Structure formats: structure tokens, C-alpha cells
A and B are shown apart, each in its own frame.
Chain A
Amino acid sequence: MDELKYNFAYLDEQTKKTIRRAILKGLSIPGYQVPFSSREMPMPYGWGTGGIQVTSSCIKQDDTLKVIDQGSDDTTNAVSIRNFFKRVTNVQTTEDTNKATIIQTRHRIPEIPLVEKQILIYQVPTPEPFRFLEPSEFETRKIHALKEYGIMHLKLYEDISKNGHISTSYNYPVLVDDNYISAPSPIPKFDNPKMNNNPAIQLFGAGREQRIYAIPPYTKVISLDFEDYPFEATKANAVCQLCGATDSYLDEIIIDNAGGRMFVCSDTNYCQNNLLKKIYNP
């Protein structure tokens, strides 16, 4: 490909090596945030530079890449990241969750259960689950080192006292492998149970914060809660108005100026497959 003037997958091999080392360390200590020297990428922080660097370091010629943003394959962010990798790797891309070997995601886990040999790569804005409770990095590292995890429940306590229920609805803190408390990135808490015992490798990359962490396949991941206020994986109480799915996470979309709205699957590939099934097997 003439256009390809960069190294395969944009990053140089030395950088990829260091990132792979961070990933391996992350996989051996599930949930632990491994610092890495995040590179300047040809896009601003906040556009998924962490996830892209992790993907760059994992991707091989024979991989099939899927990129989703809020569950959707066709939003600006997803399209441009997919095109970026197409250009610098020339690998196959897909929208089909089943065909993908690497899925880079922002804010969702696909509805179709993942399988072994798939890698799910999360774009993470704030890797430190305690950041908004404790601004000092020095202190948060101590919190993790000494497992002084009580204050995370303080946050949930505040939720209940203000709203009558645990109102944290995304980036809901999880305990990984009965050891580290981690931020699942801003996925809806509806997706939290999918992280538990998942056959796929889950990698988390935070570019600006320069952290990588990981959840190996089949790892116990539990969402924190109170005995009298157990964790609930919530979603909008509606069905998808396109495919009729009742079990998928829904987006509420404003459709006109008169305040009309509709609920649709946030996972576009899942929705499309449901529609195709309806057409071919009515």
C-alpha cells in the first residue's frame, strides 16, 4: 500500500514492546494500574489515545478489528479510529462482533457474549476509581497498596442518602479478583456483569493518565454494593423500537422538534442482526 508511510500500526516497535510489557504486567496483576509512557498520537487526548496505543501494540496482520463508540460502529469517533487502523495496518475491519478478534470500545461492552481469543480494549478517561474522592495520586496509590477501600462505599452511601438508591449509573466501581478496586471506564452499569468471568481478554488504556490495566479471561469481577442495597444492572424500561429487543441496553434518541423520542439499541450491530433475523426468518 503506497500510502503506508508509518510503521505497522503507527507506533514504532520499541514503543509497542514497552506497551506490551505493561499489558503483560497488568494481566498478571488483575486490576492494577500499570504506568506506561503514553505517546503523542495524531489526535487529541480524550479521543481514545490510550485504547489506540493498546490496540496498536496488540494488533497483527491477521486480526479483524471492530471499533465501537457508545455501542455504535458508525459514530464519528468509531469511524475515524477504524479508518486510522485501516490506513496504518491494512487489516480487515468488521462491524460484526462475532468476526472481530480485537474490539476497541468506548463506553460499551457488546451485547453478544464474547469468546476466548477475542480482545476487548477499553478507552479510559480516568483510570483511578478513587480520583474524585481523593485528588492526590500519592494517596490513591496508598489506598490501593493498603487496600483501604472503605471510602468507595462512602460514595455509594452518598448516592443512597441523596437519591434513595445507588444512582451511580456508569463507571460503577468493581472489585477485580477479590483484590483491586478498578474503574470499568464509563460503561453503563448494565454492562458490569458482563465483565465477570468473561472468556475474552479485557485491556484498559488511559492515554492522558498514562495507565494500562487488565482483566484476564475468566476473572471474578464484582460490583460493589451494600447488603441492604444490592447492585442492580439497570437499563431504560422500554423495548428497542427498531428490532424489538428487550434484553439490550437502550439509547433514548430525540427524533423531532416536538419532543418526540424513541428507544433504540445502543449496540448497532446487535440491533441490525435482530432486524436481519426478522427479515429472513419472519
Chain B
Amino acid sequence: MNMNEIIKITDLTKSFGNIIACSSITLEVYPGEIVGIVGESGSGKTTLLKCASGLYKPDSGEVFFRSDDNYVQNICNISEPDLRQLMRTDWSFIHQNPRDGLRMNISAGGNIGEKLMAIGNRHYGNIREAAAAWLEKVEIDSSRIDELPSNFSGGMQQRLQIARCLITEPKLIYMDEPTGGLDVSVQAKILDLIKKLVEELNIAAVIVTHDLGVVRLLADRVLVMKDGHIVEQGITDQVLDDPHHAYTQLLVSSIIQV
């Protein structure tokens, strides 16, 4: 199968009992592109993300992922070892709460180096060097490499999580509210960092959020979800400056102006 997209979702439906969380969703993401998914709570954003990353099995529809060597895998019927292998190498998942993505009883350096060890690196010196370099990349002083994450502020923990996720240079990252729970100045810094690293490493990203500010800053393209449907999609600026669907108009007008 030939495809140019890095991930392609076709006609995906997932329901929980009578509740349809995602209904006939079709979505393509190209290499190096950041796609934002916005919508209110319960609109199906997170379900879509979980289906796309193999955590949920959709009722119908397909999810295809293309690796670097143009090898295409169907995520819906992938075996668990293969899925976990993808999670360690080509993919990464940045959680809203850094405590879900970090090992809190392991030092910062260990947290960052874990994926390297998981893919077979057995040289302590090299692992440590790479971990220190990544700490600097996410603007944490590398002298703090042996400290526990609990010594770090919320924003620093989130940056630590980003370093941990990106060290193996994945091709695709999934983010679920990466700046939720952080104050605005820290949010801005994290968003800046994500944007810089994603561009530098040419990573494709799917970012789920209810914060239109985050989407405005990060996403090239945006999808607006409501009740399990995509109600509007397009170039971010276009959708946010000239919303067509009534719900998008409501979302945009709900932003508190200062």
C-alpha cells in the first residue's frame, strides 16, 4: 500500500454502549505537520486520540501508520508487541499530567535515558551524555540530571517529559492537553519549546486540547469536534478567524478577551 501521509484514519467509528464517541472520522496527517483537535469535554477528542494510538480498538474504520521505510501498518489489528515497539521508537505520547508520563522515583537522567535502554543501548556513558544534552535542549540545567522529578516545578516536569519522549526522535507524537494545569507564562514557554523541537526534528504531531490559544500557536491545521463528529476543519488561522459552523463560532467567541 502506498501512502504519503504518516497517519491516515478512514471512516472511524467508536461507541461506548449507546454513546457514539467518534462517528465516521476521517483524518490524514502528513510528516512534519501539526494537527490540532479542539472541542468541548465529551466531544470525542480523547477517544479519537486513543483509537489513533492503538489504545482503543474502533468499532469500524481503519488507522494506517507509515514508518520511515514506507512500511504501512494497520494500527487496528496490530499485535501488542508491535504496538509497544512503535510506542518505543516511532511514536511518543505526551500526557497532560507529567506524573503519568514520568517515573517519579527515578532521576531526571534515568527518565530521559529509559527509552534508549529499552531499545538496547548498553553504554552508560553514552546514555548519560545523551540525557544531559536533552536536558539542555528543554532548558533544564544539566547539573540537575540526578535529581528526582519531584524536585522540579510543574513546568519543568512537563519539559522533562518532553525530553523523555523525544530522545529517540520519534516520527509522530500524540499530545493530550500538554499544557493543561500550567500557568499561562509557563504554558507559553512549553508551547514555544514544543514548536521549536517539532520543527527541528520534523515530527508530525496530533494535539488534543480545548484551549484555542494552544491551537493558534502550534497547529498548522485544526479540526473542530462536537458530539463525535468533525464539524469544521481547515488551516488554523482560517478556521479561527472566519469560523463557519455555529459551534466553532461559539468556541471562538467564548475566548475571554483581556
Contacts and interface: CB of A to CB of B under 8 A. Distances in A.
Interface string B215-242: 0000000000000000000000000000
A236 interface: no
Given A160-B124, A161-B145, A146 B80 contact: yes
Mostly helix, strand, loop or mixed at chain A's interface?
Answer: helix
Contact of A150 (B81, B109, B119, B123): B119
Interface stretch (B13-21, B110-118, B249-257): B110-118
B111 to A, nearest CB: 9
Interface in A224-249: 226-229
Nearest to B113: A157
Interface in A104-163: 146, 148, 150-151, 153-154, 157-158, 160-162
Given A146-B80, A161-B146, A154 B124 contact: no
Nearest to B81: A146
Nearest to A162: B146
B146 A154 contact: no
A162 B81 CA distance: 33
A42 to B, nearest CB: 38
B123 A157 contact: no
Nearest to B79: A146
B106 A154 contact: yes
A203 to B, nearest CB: 30
Contacts of B81: 146
A273 B258 CA distance: 87
Contacts of A157: 109-110, 113, 117, 124, 127-128
Interface residues of A, number: 15
Contacts of A158: 106-107, 110
Contacts of B118: 148, 150-151
Interface in A180-233: 226-229
B124 A228 contact: yes
A232 B110 CA distance: 22
Nearest to B123: A227
A229 to B, nearest CB: 5
A151 B109 CA distance: 13
30 contacts: A146-B80, A146-B81, A146-B84, A148-B84, A150-B114, A150-B115, A150-B117, A150-B118, A150-B119, A151-B114, A151-B117, A154-B103, A154-B110, A154-B117, A157-B109, A157-B110, A157-B117, A157-B128, A158-B110, A161-B110, A161-B145, A162-B107, A162-B146, A226-B122, A226-B123, A226-B124, A227-B122, A227-B123, A227-B124, A228-B123
The 10 closest A-B pairs by CB, nearest first: A150-B118, A226-B124, A153-B117, A150-B117, A227-B123, A146-B81, A228-B125, A161-B146, A228-B124, A157-B110
Interface of B: 80-81, 84, 103, 106-107, 109-110, 113-115, 117-120, 122-125, 127-128, 145-146
Interface of A: 146, 148, 150-151, 153-154, 157-158, 160-162, 226-229
